[in-house]
Copies of this chain bind each other. A is one copy, B any other.
């Protein structure tokens, strides 16, 4: 019997059965993923050595520029770096040696301890898109993000079990002054959500506000010993590190909090057009800033980031979900493990403007390779559209639905006696069917990942329910999530103290729109 016609008949029998009473057990989602499958070793020893050698060559022979922060140059000089003007070079091996004091893995604590996440090793943590100024949904189209959108997104993310972390700038609240919006964003994450989140980095004072607000929420003593907040910075590739990065390192790592350093390289623009060179350059940049974080405070949590994009050769526009970044996701994981630090890379990336097939193909290839590559912290795991310029309401819940599937894959394959089901073959004769057998009845509730937004009905049922495409179903889902939202309890005195802090700082800071 052909796979096609068979699927039709089984669908029918399944529908009958489904009509009765099959209900899936609700299984509490874990706070983060504990990976149970092997890492995929894409490159062999020789290839990895070549990339590491190239990174050391860059650091020793070319060096990195550290601009606009004399403090940073002083720190490098004291450590014995070769500093000429703003160019910093390190002897081969020195950056790697300095990175050794960074923890291989650490916990980012949440105000709800059940939602604290482990970052590094075989743990994987997914967080939403970060940074888009625009927002899109299928009814209202594309427009600048507002604070209302931002708060909506925090509330939706708080309810998506496959997002373990809420990130920070799920969309830019463009209706708030640039100089103050970080206060509203950090407060919203603390108030409306009890997953861990990031802090601001765009100015030193904003990073400091984030850390100060975290002190109100978590307590100063606790933070001396534990990570509760992190900053996420990009180097200014190629080989340029600006004040935003070095000041964020001083504020976050100085307070024993985490710093994620992600070189963003559009191959052919901020790095060479060949993928191997871009991987090595990104590794050199991240390792160098990682070394810097350890000079600021030995033992502070550092996450090596990587963000490689390819380019359309017809137009020069960045492309996403293409095979070159897919390969880089797999290789950079190997390099991070050899360096012994947690890795941020990948995400559900796309250049598409709409939550359509292009968006999904590109996001899936990007995210499956991210998952296989072992990325420990995945920013942009859901909601990214248009090369990161736009957050999609539908895209956010669509991606999150797929993230649940990666979680199942990463849990590996059970191979115990129940999984092998020999009793079922004794019960069910060749040519029979397993639908009603004891083994099926005992296992069906947890057997398969159930994708909320995938429509697997036959075409007649699908037409009866309105012939909706994925984006339409996703629109209904995010609206339902907003309706269902309930705020997690927050200690009233802490809430008051946070509000006071925000009010005081807003009084102090002038409105600015840049």
Min CB distance A167 to B, Å, is: 13
With A276-B420, A319-B456 as given contacts, are A38 and B47 in contact (CB-CB < 8 Å)? no
Given the complex of chains A and B, what is the CA–CA distance between A277 and B424 in angstroms? Answer: 10
List residues of chain B with CB within 8 A of the CB of A274. 414, 418-421, 439, 443, 447
Q: What are 12 A-to-B residue pairs whose CB atoms are below 8 Å? A: A3-B131, A3-B307, A22-B315, A238-B430, A273-B440, A311-B448, A321-B454, A323-B449, A351-B454, A356-B356, A361-B454, A389-B459
With A43-B413, A322-B451 as given contacts, are A439 and B272 in contact (CB-CB < 8 Å)? yes
Q: Does A148 contact B (CB under 8 A)?
A: no
Min CB distance A30 to B, Å, is: 15
Q: Does A408 contact B (CB under 8 A)?
A: yes
Given the complex of chains A and B, what is the CA–CA distance between A272 and B417 in angstroms? Answer: 12
Most chain B C-beta atoms within 10 Å of own C-beta, residue among A51, A364, A398, A424: A364
Q: Does A316 contact B (CB under 8 A)?
A: yes
List residues of chain B with CB within 8 A of the CB of A388. 3-4, 7
468-507 of chain A: CB within 8 A of chain B: 469-471, 474
Given the complex of chains A and B, what is the CA–CA distance between A309 and B428 in angstroms? Answer: 19
315-348 of chain A: CB within 8 A of chain B: 315-324, 326-327, 331
Q: Does A111 contact B (CB under 8 A)?
A: no
Kindly report which residue of chain B lies nearest to residue A362, judged by CB atoms. Answer: B454
List residues of chain B with CB within 8 A of the CB of A22. 313-316
Min CB distance A174 to B, Å, is: 13
List residues of chain B with CB within 8 A of the CB of A131. 2-5
346-395 of chain A: CB within 8 A of chain B: 351-365, 368-369, 372, 386-390
Q: Does A91 contact B (CB under 8 A)?
A: no
Kindly report which residue of chain B lies nearest to residue A305, judged by CB atoms. Answer: B3
Q: Does A312 contact B (CB under 8 A)?
A: yes
Kindly report which residue of chain B lies nearest to residue A447, judged by CB atoms. Answer: B273
383-439 of chain A: CB within 8 A of chain B: 386-390, 398, 402, 405-409, 412-415, 418-422, 424-426, 428, 430-435, 437, 439
We find that the number of chain A residues with CB closer than 8 angstroms to chain B is 157
Which of B18, B430, B443 has a CB less than 8 Å from the CB of A314? B18
List residues of chain B with CB within 8 A of the CB of A133. 4
Given the complex of chains A and B, what is the CA–CA distance between A324 and B14 in angstroms? Answer: 18
List residues of chain B with CB within 8 A of the CB of A445. 313
Given the complex of chains A and B, what is the CA–CA distance between A459 and B236 in angstroms? Answer: 25
Which of B5, B234, B421, B425 has a CB less than 8 Å from the CB of A6? B234
Kindly report which residue of chain B lies nearest to residue A47, judged by CB atoms. Answer: B415
In the bound complex, do residue A470 and residue B358 qualify as a contact, i.e. CB atoms below 8 Å apart? yes
Which of B238, B372, B433, B434 has a CB less than 8 Å from the CB of A432? B238
Q: Does A310 contact B (CB under 8 A)?
A: yes
Most chain B C-beta atoms within 10 Å of own C-beta, residue among A16, A274, A359, A455: A274
Q: Does A262 contact B (CB under 8 A)?
A: yes
Type the 1/0 row for A276-308, where 1 means its CB is closer than 8 Å to any CB of B. Answer: 110010000000000000000000000000010
Given the complex of chains A and B, what is the CA–CA distance between A315 and B364 in angstroms? Answer: 25
In the bound complex, do residue B361 and residue A448 qualify as a contact, i.e. CB atoms below 8 Å apart? no
In the bound complex, do residue B358 and residue A323 qualify as a contact, i.e. CB atoms below 8 Å apart? no
List residues of chain B with CB within 8 A of the CB of A443. 272-274
Chain A interface, DSSP helix/strand/loop, else mixed: mixed
Given the complex of chains A and B, what is the CA–CA distance between A264 and B470 in angstroms? Answer: 27
Given the complex of chains A and B, what is the CA–CA distance between A5 and B361 in angstroms? Answer: 24
In the bound complex, do residue A269 and residue B324 qualify as a contact, i.e. CB atoms below 8 Å apart? no
Given the complex of chains A and B, what is the CA–CA distance between A87 and B451 in angstroms? Answer: 39
Given the complex of chains A and B, what is the CA–CA distance between A447 and B314 in angstroms? Answer: 12
In the bound complex, do residue B357 and residue A326 qualify as a contact, i.e. CB atoms below 8 Å apart? no
132-153 of chain A: CB within 8 A of chain B: 132-133, 142
Q: Does A271 contact B (CB under 8 A)?
A: yes
Q: Does A122 contact B (CB under 8 A)?
A: no
Which of B62, B280, B309, B353 has a CB less than 8 Å from the CB of A430? B62
Kindly report which residue of chain B lies nearest to residue A49, judged by CB atoms. Answer: B415
In the bound complex, do residue B439 and residue A273 qualify as a contact, i.e. CB atoms below 8 Å apart? yes
Kindly report which residue of chain B lies nearest to residue A241, judged by CB atoms. Answer: B430
Type the 1/0 row for A46-65, where 1 means its CB is closer than 8 Å to any CB of B. Answer: 01001100100110001111
Q: Does A458 contact B (CB under 8 A)?
A: yes
Min CB distance A342 to B, Å, is: 18
In the bound complex, do residue B1 and residue A264 qualify as a contact, i.e. CB atoms below 8 Å apart? yes
In the bound complex, do residue B271 and residue A434 qualify as a contact, i.e. CB atoms below 8 Å apart? yes
List residues of chain B with CB within 8 A of the CB of A372. 40, 372
With A351-B454, A365-B405 as given contacts, are A269 and B234 in contact (CB-CB < 8 Å)? no
Given the complex of chains A and B, what is the CA–CA distance between A413 and B280 in angstroms? Answer: 13
In the bound complex, do residue A38 and residue B41 qualify as a contact, i.e. CB atoms below 8 Å apart? yes
List residues of chain B with CB within 8 A of the CB of A7. 264, 266, 309, 318, 387-389
Given the complex of chains A and B, what is the CA–CA distance between A456 and B6 in angstroms? Answer: 40
